[in-house]
Structure 1
Amino acid sequence: MSQSVERALRILPVLAAGPAGLGEVAEELAVHKSTALRLLRTLHEHGYAYRQGDGRYRLGARLFALAAEAVENLDVREVAHPHLVELNRATGHTVHLALHQDDEVVYVDKVDSRYPVRMYSRIGRPVPLTVAAVAKVLLADLPEAERRALAERIDYPRHTARSTPDAAAFLRELALVREQGWATDLGGHEESLNCLAAPVYGPHGRVAAAMSLSAPTVVADADGLLDLLPLLVRTADAIGRDYAGGGPAPTTPTAPTAPTPMP
């Protein structure tokens, strides 16, 4: 890499921490002030740095505009799909990717299981909010006030005896999901189907999507599916790192060593 480019790139994290003077930048880069000034002037000319009235520099508007444009044009489905395929290959189970849109959680990608018994789900179809594991992962990331408002305005259909019965129970379950970093649907939507979900974190440290593994109980019981939790979390982490541009996914959950099904 060009030495000048490398030095210019090293300036950006310095300015991200707050406005910095010429001397601070030069000291951080271990260069003469004249070199630091040349680099800062170049960044300023292109909008990546801004010189304040007090002589200190901060990040420029052009950098924020580029970041916003990149995030807006980044399709999490495109990033995630190879990882979904690989998880399906490793487990044989159905893999889904879901997004939260308004008051709906919608499947946006799916890789079918390899066994004859298939899960009936379709890309573009909303999932049942109060029982689906992907919905719990996505809704658990909402700010508390939004979680409570949502819990109070939605219905709680009894799909099975294990379906979430009311708003209070739903909020308790979302709190547990926030704490442990993953969610389950163990017969809450269909008695014969188990599902395990983990969050995919975006560039800003918020949950951008949820991915899940699903299997009929005749293929994998609850314990068998929960054994795959570490693999699911690692896959979600990998998608998050790719989606965030190669950096570590901030606040990525850690799978517990001995998971237990949620009540």
Structure 2
Amino acid sequence: MSQTVDRALSILPLLAEGPADLGRVADRLGVHKSTALRLLRTLHEHGLVHRQADQRYRLGARLFALAQQAVESLDIREIAHPHLVALNEQCGHTVHLAVHEEDEVVYIDKVDSRYPVRMYSRIGKPVALTVAAVAKLLLADLPEPERRALAERLDYPPYTARSTPHATAFLAELAAVREQGWATDLGGHEESINCVAAPVRGTDGRVVAAMSVSAPNVVVTADELLTLLPLVRRTADAISREYSGKPPTEEAPA
């Protein structure tokens, strides 16, 4: 029975390459056409394979529906949390996870610093869109017309002297973030707090969440915090792989 299941499952990646006729399926599996036909009929009955008018087979609509349902049921917070805890244990600083919901970027998880100085951020609280590193990553991934429209309707509070001053500067920063694949907030929201962030991506490569490490100047300087960027990016990549179901790969370069 396990061999039958293995053969049936082997058909799916073949058809992902494009429609194939019975002969090609049989050849790829190394079985007689009657065996291949029996497997294809079973997959067809379950909606995983569809037979076209030209007698070739392609992936069925139900397979795509199941894939979409599986993606929608994934809990990014549940997947990310062990990685956030591991990062916190390595660096000792506060770690956040945030997502973009409608016109807000909201923290959905947080692991507190091991130091007495704590961040005032909390789960469920929106972040400052124009300065927060996680917000820059999530908004930078929007299509250009959406980025521009959003930037033009935002206010630009002068939290500190380093805060983003206006839409033109914000769009330029989002373009840079989109190009480099990471973001910072170096005293833009609070003079004494610095942050580095990296994106978590889904199966289509789009940014589904952003994670960050934050620390006050009394604990580490901005330059010292930036040395953690490779570790932050590796953690985000590990979450991305698990979320999208991709096999482990070599670590991203620093």
- The TM-score range, normalised by the shorter chain, is over 0.9
Q: Please give the per-residue CA displacement for 1:142-186, whole angstroms capped at 9, x wherever unaligned.
A: 111111111111111111111111111111111111111100000
Residue 134 in 1 paired to residue 155 in 2? no
Change beyond 3 A, Cα 1:144–1:253:
farther
Instruction: Give the Cα separation in 1 of the matches to 2:5 and 2:237.
Output: 30
Change beyond 3 A, Cα 1:204–1:194:
same
Equivalent residue, structure 1, for 2:230? 230
Give the match's secondary structure for 2:210: strand
Q: Report if aligned partners of 1:203, 1:244 keep a CA contact under 8 Å in 2.
A: yes
Matched residue type, 2:91: T
Equivalent residue, structure 2, for 1:61? 61
Deviates more, 1:60-69 or 1:193-202: 60-69
Please report the TM-score for the alignment, with normalisation by the length of structure 2. Answer: 0.94
Instruction: Give the Cα separation in 2 of the matches to 1:25 and 1:149.
Output: 50
Residue 78 in 1 paired to residue 105 in 2? no
**What is the 5 A alignment of 1:178-257?**
178-247=178-247, 254=252, 257=254
Give the match's secondary structure for 1:198: strand
Deviates more, 1:11-20 or 1:28-37: 28-37
Equivalent residue, structure 2, for 1:113? 113
Instruction: Give the Cα separation in 1 of the matches to 2:229 and 2:32.
Output: 52
Q: What is the CA distance between 1:24 and its match in structure 2?
A: 2.4
Unaligned runs of 5+ residues in structure 2 are none
Unaligned runs of 5+ residues in structure 1 are 258-263
Q: What is the CA distance between 1:100 and its match in structure 2?
A: 0.2
Count of aligned residue pairs for this structure pair:
254
Q: Report if aligned partners of 2:81, 2:109 keep a CA contact under 8 Å in 1.
A: yes
Q: Report if aligned partners of 2:234, 2:251 keep a CA contact under 8 Å in 1.
A: no
Q: Report if aligned partners of 1:48, 1:60 keep a CA contact under 8 Å in 2.
A: yes
Equivalent residue, structure 2, for 1:261? none
Instruction: Give the Cα separation in 1 of the matches to 2:176 and 2:29.
Output: 45
Q: Report if aligned partners of 1:130, 1:164 keep a CA contact under 8 Å in 2.
A: yes
Q: Report if aligned partners of 1:18, 1:58 keep a CA contact under 8 Å in 2.
A: yes
Equivalent residue, structure 1, for 2:47? 47
Instruction: Give the Cα separation in 2 of the matches to 1:4 and 1:74.
Output: 29
Output the aligned Cα RMSD.
Answer: 1.8
Q: What is the CA distance between 1:3 and its match in structure 2?
A: 2.0
Change beyond 3 A, Cα 1:254–1:156:
farther
Q: What is the CA distance between 1:248 and its match in structure 2?
A: 5.6
Q: What is the CA distance between 1:254 and its match in structure 2?
A: 4.7
Equivalent residue, structure 2, for 1:260? none
Give the match's secondary structure for 1:210: strand
Instruction: Give the Cα separation in 2 of the matches to 1:206 and 1:35.
Output: 40
Change beyond 3 A, Cα 1:201–1:248:
farther
Equivalent residue, structure 1, for 2:91? 91
Give the match's secondary structure for 1:66: helix
Q: Percent identity?
A: 75
Segments of 4+ in structure 1 off by > 4 A?
252-255
Instruction: Give the Cα separation in 1 of the matches to 2:34 and 2:221.
Output: 67
Instruction: Give the Cα separation in 1 of the matches to 2:231 and 2:188.
Output: 23
Q: Report if aligned partners of 1:181, 1:253 keep a CA contact under 8 Å in 2.
A: no
Q: Report if aligned partners of 2:148, 2:171 keep a CA contact under 8 Å in 1.
A: yes
Q: What is the CA distance between 1:92 and its match in structure 2?
A: 0.4
Deviates more, 1:32-41 or 1:56-65: 32-41
